[in-house]
Every structure is written in structure tokens, then in C-alpha cells.
Structure 1
Amino acid sequence: MNDVKTVTNRLKILYLYKILLEKTDNNHYISMPEIISQLSLYGISAARKALYDDIEALKTYGLDVQQLKGNTSGYYVASREFELPELKLLADAVTSSRFLTEKKSNELLKKIEGLASVHEAKQIHRQVFVSNRAKAMNERIYINVDTIHRAIAEGKKISFKYFDYDLEKKKKYRDGLRVCSPYALSWTDERYYLIAHYEKYTSISNFRVDRMESVKILEEDIVPKPSDFSIAEYMNSSFSMFSGESRDVKLRFDNKLINTVIDRFGKDVSLIPDGNEHFTVHVKVKAEAPFFAWLFQFGSKAKIVEPASLKEKYRIQIEDVLNTL
């Protein structure tokens, strides 16, 4: 009998902790009679004096329990590890992340809501409105991300299957297993990419994480990252994460595009005045179709100055498009 009473007493403070976190916040309190009623739902009876002592114990433990006094009295949790604005921010990130499937997004949102009181959880849930955006179809992507992170930390190679989708939205696997030395994961254009040394081409390549399957960590150590390889520089030179050789280019922009250029190439890029209305920059880019598409959106306000071969390549790309119209 004493053992049952001891277990009940130990559970009492745990359920009290749960009730305070779930039912209260800065705008909602719970009275002592309500606490007693809530505990009874868990099959626990408690006297007021014992509960006062338990609340003091929780405060000593670190739970920020405050008492409301006056005509109405009660208790509430005044601060938490995650405040409501932070939880809303996390909820927005989960909802808008294309690399998460709809199912996984909903699962994570439920867990985020569980970090707030039941009252604040409604605010988190109400702001989730981005439901028609394209989401990932690979349910195991979050497991892939975790596996890749572990491989990077351990300095080990990974192997995986890589696939594309056909017209029927079915997976079409590329031949053989890919074997790579993972260097970093990048969140670019709302998708996760693996930056790695690819065995087949003995060069740095990118892979969409949501198109990877059966990711396994191998026993073999990675090919060391080149000493002159900079992840930040590599990212700044990439457009839509296309692989390819980076080239030094000189670009000329209208002054109205200063913010756009800094957003694209970073605050360390040197902006050199070119007359009163333009400026030039020297940057490294992967001069492929995505770069040309990015440049084209600015029309006559942006142009390639050097090298001449790249100007010609850009002109040919535009002519090829015109010929299809």
C-alpha cells in the first residue's frame, strides 16, 4: 500500500508540471480547485497544502510559475524555453519547407504546438495556411539529412540511389549506386542539396537530397576537401545549384540593382562605380543556363562585360530561345 502511495506522490508532481504547461500561459491561469480537478482525471487525489509545496518545488527546479492574486487567483507559467513568436517562426519554416512532405510537415507542426499551451497552440495552428505549395514526395528525406550529417561529422563516404521522375510521376533510377565524399548540406532555392566529391567525375557535384534513396554511411574515409575549396564561395557562384566549373566574370548593373547584387553575391562583393548610373562587379559564377536566366530577368539593366566568350554564349542562348517562338 505504501509503495502505491509513494508512486502516486511521485506521479503527482509530474502531472502537475504537465497541467501547468498545457493549460496556462501569460493570458490563462488555473485555479487551485481546477488543478485538483485536473489531477483527478489522472486518478490522483491531492490536498491543497501538498500542491503548494509541489508548486514551490517546480519553481525551484526552474519552471517559471507565477501566482495571480486578487479577486481571482490562480497559477500560470510565465515563460518557456520557446516563446510563442519563436514557435510561430518554426511553424512557418516547417510549413513553407518544400523538402518536407505534407505528412512530415503536419507531424512536426503537432510537435511544435505541443511546446505551447493549448490556448497558444490554436494561434500556431491558425497561421498555417500555405497548403497548395509544391512539397517533397520523398517521405524519408529527413532521415537522409540526418544520415548525411552523421557521415560528414565522421568523415565517411556515403552511397545512395539517385532518381528522377518520369511523365507518370514514377521514380526512374539512374544506373548504379552513387558513391560520394560528403562535404556539406546546403539549403538553396527552398531545397536541400548535398555538396560532395563525386567518385565518377572526381569533382565537386551537387545532389538533390529529396531525390536520394537508401543513403548509407560507408567504412571508407572521404576524399579530403581541397584546401582551396570554400563552401561559401562555391554557393555564391552557383545558380539553382547547377554543377559546373566556376569562371571569373565582370558584370555591369544599373545602380537600382545594388540590393539585388548584394543579396546574390554577399556583402563582401566589391561594387565599382561605372559612371553615375551603373556599377561593375568581378565575381565567380557557374556560367550555365540558370545564371543566364537570373541575368536575363534584369533586361537591359544588367550585362556581361567580360569574358567575350561568355557574352557570345549568352547571345547564342537568347537566340536559341527566340528561334523556338
Structure 2
Amino acid sequence: MLPTKNKLFLTYYVLKQYSNKENPMNATEVAKKVQEVFELEKAPNRRTIYDHFEDLELISEVYEQTVSFRLVRTPNRKVYIESTISSGEAHLLSDAVATSRFIDLEQSRSLIQKLGIVVGQNLKNFFEPRLHFKATDKKEYNEQLFQNIDVLTEAIKKGKKVTLQYLKYDVNKQLVPSRPDENNGYKKIRPYYLIWQINKYYLMYYYDDSTSPRFMRVDKMRDVMTIDEAVGELKDIPNLSDYTRNQAYMFGGMPEYIRFRCKMYSIGQVIDFFGEDVTIKPIDEEYFQVEVYTSCESIKFWLMQYISSIDQIEPLKLAVEIEEMLEDGLRRNRVKQKETFL
């Protein structure tokens, strides 16, 4: 039995657990459920429950930016508690957690359980079969990932630089300093934006002496620390959201307008990847032109992936670079004699 001095919480708990859009509750039903669940000798009176409804409604309105629920009234004087996160949104987020390679098994279970609490569902049991496919061993980056996100988020809010050690995988699949000859991989950077892209979490940043943005994977960072130096105003990229969304691969680089001609049968791949806002101009029944605002570094490998249906690439420097890459790849992969593969 819980202490009963704060009866408002008891009303909230009952509404959270037992009410929804299909099953709203009136004051009498809530009072009886409170008495049943918390084993009270006497049910709260209806006037008290009505006061609780008003308090919960006021809390959800005044503190809508900080509480995760709203109280909804129906025409027949019943109410229910509705989460500010929908069931579909919670499932989508849980799915992302369950399939992420950079959130270990126990952390995944904990996060999914918390999302389930917010929406009043047992999401942990629902996703447990999928979680069985995750490895049970704990990686070093697993333990630091969320701490890295916290530190970087706070640094971005305050407009401060950070220092960190950046890592890479070696042939033994171990994380080692990315450039051990340069301060053992430690860097000082100006962080500006965190983004989840291509099933990984990235930080967009600048070096102190760089005029071009770059991206760095958060799961490969170690010893992230904020330092008391201002990052300065970001002037080169007017719209961070558009810039990061159009990054085909997270290599950074200054954005510019990239154009190319594409065969009509590939229109689905273009829209699926760049979104419905991408600029598309029909040329004829066979071709259309694509224009996207991104960097050459970011898009060149995407263009290579679909090169069998793409041509007339602009700007010229990008077209030349892709041509050289194709010629080099063809030279190294040319089949010199026919072989039989069993």
C-alpha cells in the first residue's frame, strides 16, 4: 500500500494505467479504482476527484513542455490520460533502439521499458524477441555513448568548444586512436549539431582552422570534455536541417547545388533517399533532372552507387572525380580471363 496523503497522485496513477480514448472514466469510477488498487478503507469522494481532474488538466496545459501527458475530457463528463507521445511514435523509437548496433542489450531493454512507461504499454515484452538477436557483450563505446551525447548537447547549447579523442577500428575490430601520430587522436573542435543518420549518431563540427564542416561519429568518441572557449557564430550554412538532411554520406564539406540526369526508373530511389522536397524536373519520358543542395564529398559515393542510371553530373569537378574513380575501379577489377565459378 502506498502512502495516501497525496491523493492527486493516486488519481493520476489510476487514469494513467486504466483510462484511454476507448475507455474514459468518470469521477465515481476513478474513486472506486483508487480504493481497489491502493487498498483503501474508503474511496475518495467525487468532489475530490473532480478537483484532481482540474489540477491535472491545469498541470498538463501550463507545463506542457515538461510533462509527458495531457488530460482529455469527453462530452459525457468522463476523462482520460493521453500520452504526448503516441503509440506509433513510441514503437518507431523503440524499433530504432532495438536495431541499433551502438546501444547494447541491457541499455536497449531499459530505454524501451522507459518509452513503454510513457505511453502506458509493455513495449519491453513486445520487442524482447527482436532484442534476442543483440550481442550480450558490453563494448566500451556502449558505456560512453549516452555520456558523450549529454556533454555534446550541453556544449552546443552553451556555444562552447570541446576536446575529445577520436577512434577508429583496426583489423582486429578494436577501437584505437584514429591518428595516433597527431596528439594520439585528441582533437579540439567546434560542435554545432547532432543528427541521427544512416543508423548512426553524428556530430557536425568544424576544426578551429577549417572553413568546411565535417561529421564525426559519437560512438567513436572518448573523453569528451567541454572547454571554456566560444565556438562562434555559424555563418556558412544558413539552414542546418536542410544541409544535414541532404548528406548522402556523412563526409561534410561545403554545400553547393549538385545536378545530374537520371533514368526514370530510378525516381523512387531518389525520392526515398532525398525526400519529397528534392527538386525534380522531367526531361522526357526516359529521363529527369535532379537538383540537390549538398556537398560533393557527401554525394559522390551515392552517385557511384546508382551510376548505371545517372549521367550529366554537375559541377564539372565532381563529374571529373567520379570519372577518375570509375576508371581506376575498372582498371583494378577488370576480368582478364574467363573463369568458371562453381
Range class of TM-score, shorter chain: 0.7 to 0.9
Alignment match, 1:54: 48
CA deviation vs aligned residue, 1:201-257 (integer Å, no higher than 9, x gap) = 564221101111221111011143234565356436633202456676542211222
Equivalent in the alignment of 2:13: 18
User: Which residue of 1 is the match for residue 249 of structure 2?
Assistant: 240
Tell me what 1:3 maps to.
none
Is the Cα contact below 8 Å between 1:305 and 1:311 reproduced in 2? Answer: no
Query: Could you tell me the percent identity over the aligned residues?
Result: 25
SS at match of 1:239: coil
What residue identity is the alignment partner of 2:188?
V
SS of the residue 1:240 aligns to: coil
Of 90, 93, 103, the residue aligned with 1:90 is: 93
User: Which of these residues, 149, 152, 156, is aligned with residue 152 of structure 1?
Assistant: 156
- What are the Cα deviations for residues 243-300 of structure 1, in whole angstroms up to 9, with x where unaligned? 4566765422112223433444455544344343112335555445x74543344353
CA contact (8 A) 1:65 1:77 kept: yes
- For the structure 1 residues 257 and 96, does the alpha-carbon distance in structure 2 shift closer, same or farther, using more than 3 Å as the test? same
User: 1:83, CA displacement in angstroms?
Assistant: 4.3
Q: Measure, in 1, the Cα distance between the counterparts of 2:281 and 2:16.
A: 56
Report the secondary structure of 2:103's partner residue.
coil
Question: Alpha carbons of 1:283 and 1:109: their partners in 2 closer, same or farther (altered >3 Å)?
Answer: closer
Alignment partner of 1:115 is 2:118: yes
Whether the 8 Å contact between 1:162 and 1:173 is mirrored in structure 2 is yes
Amino acid at match of 2:148: N
CA 28–128 in structure 1, closer or farther in 2 if over 3 Å, else same: farther
What amino acid sits opposite 2:283 in the alignment?
D
Q: Distance in 2 between matches of 1:270 and 1:34?
A: 57
Could you tell me which of 164, 168, 171 is aligned with 2:168? 164
Aligned partner letter, 1:125: N
Which has more radius of gyration?
1
Asked if the contact 2:212–2:254 (Cα under 8 Å) also holds between the matched residues in 1, the reply is: no
Counterpart CA distance in 2 for 1:263 and 1:208 is 24
Contact 1:152 1:184 in 2 (8 A): yes
Partner of 2:189, secondary structure, is strand
Can you list the C-alpha shifts for 1:131-176, whole angstroms capped at 9, x where unaligned?
3369984322222222222212211111111112334433212314
From the superposition, tell whether residues 294 and 85 of structure 1 become closer, same or farther in structure 2 (CA, over 3 Å): closer
1:249·1:304 contact (CA, 8 Å) conserved in 2?
Answer: no
Amino acid at match of 2:330: E
Return 135-144 or 156-165, whichever deviates more.
135-144
Whether 1:315 and 2:326 are equivalent positions in the alignment is: yes
Task: Give the CA deviation at 1:196.
Answer: 0.8
Question: Out of 253, 266, 269, which is 1:257 matched to?
Answer: 266
**In terms of mean alpha carbon deviation, does 203-212 or 260-269 score higher?**
260-269
Q: 8 Å contact 1:295–1:302 — kept in the other structure?
A: yes
Residue range with higher mean Cα deviation, 243-252 or 273-282 = 243-252
Query: Cα RMSD (Å) of the superposition?
Result: 3.9
- The question of 1:38 aligning with 2:8 is answered no
The residue identity in structure 1 corresponding to 2:157 is: A
Residue 296 to residue 8, structure 1, CA distance change in 2 (3 Å): closer
Please say if residues 169 and 175 of structure 2, whose CA atoms lie closer than 8 Å, have aligned partners that are also in contact: yes
Q: CA, structure 1 residues 51+254, in 2 after alignment: closer, same or farther (shift >3 Å)?
A: same
Conserved in 2, the CA contact under 8 Å of 1:159 and 1:217?
yes
> How has the CA–CA distance of structure 1 residues 179 and 37 changed in structure 2, closer, same or farther, with 3 Å as cutoff?
same
Unaligned runs of 5+ in 1: 1-6, 69-74
Cα pair 1:104 1:139 within 8 Å, conserved: no
Distance 1:292 1:28, change over 3 A: same
The aligned amino acid for 2:38 is L
CA distance in 1 between partners of 2:320 and 2:289 (Å):
18
- Distance verdict in 2 for CA 1:34–1:164, change over 3 Å: same
Q: 1:177 to 1:280 in 2, by over 3 A?
A: same
Unpaired runs of 5+ residues, structure 2, are 58-70, 179-183, 337-342
Cα distance in 1 for residues equivalent to 2:209 and 2:114: 41
- 1:123: Cα distance to partner? 6.0
Quick one: distance in 1 between partners of 2:83 and 2:241?
A: 35
Change (3 A) 1:18 1:104: same
* Secondary structure of the corresponding residue to residue 195 of structure 1: strand
SS in 1 for 2:302: helix
Aligned length: 305
Q: CA distance change for structure 1 residues 179 and 287 in 2, over 3 Å: closer, same or farther?
A: same
Using the TM superposition, give the Cα deviation of residue 198 of structure 1 relative to its aligned residue in structure 2, in angstroms: 1.3
Task: Give, in whole Å, the separation in 1 of the partners of 2:126 and 2:45.
Answer: 35
TM-score, normalization by structure 1: 0.75
Residue number in structure 2 paired with 1:105:
108
CA distance in 2, matches of 1:287, 1:106: 39
In structure 2, C-alpha distance between the alignment counterparts of 1:305 and 1:195, rounded to whole Å: 26
CA displacement 1:95-122 (0-9 Å, x = unmatched): 34444333322111111222244xxx23
Contact 2:304 2:322 in 1 (8 A): no
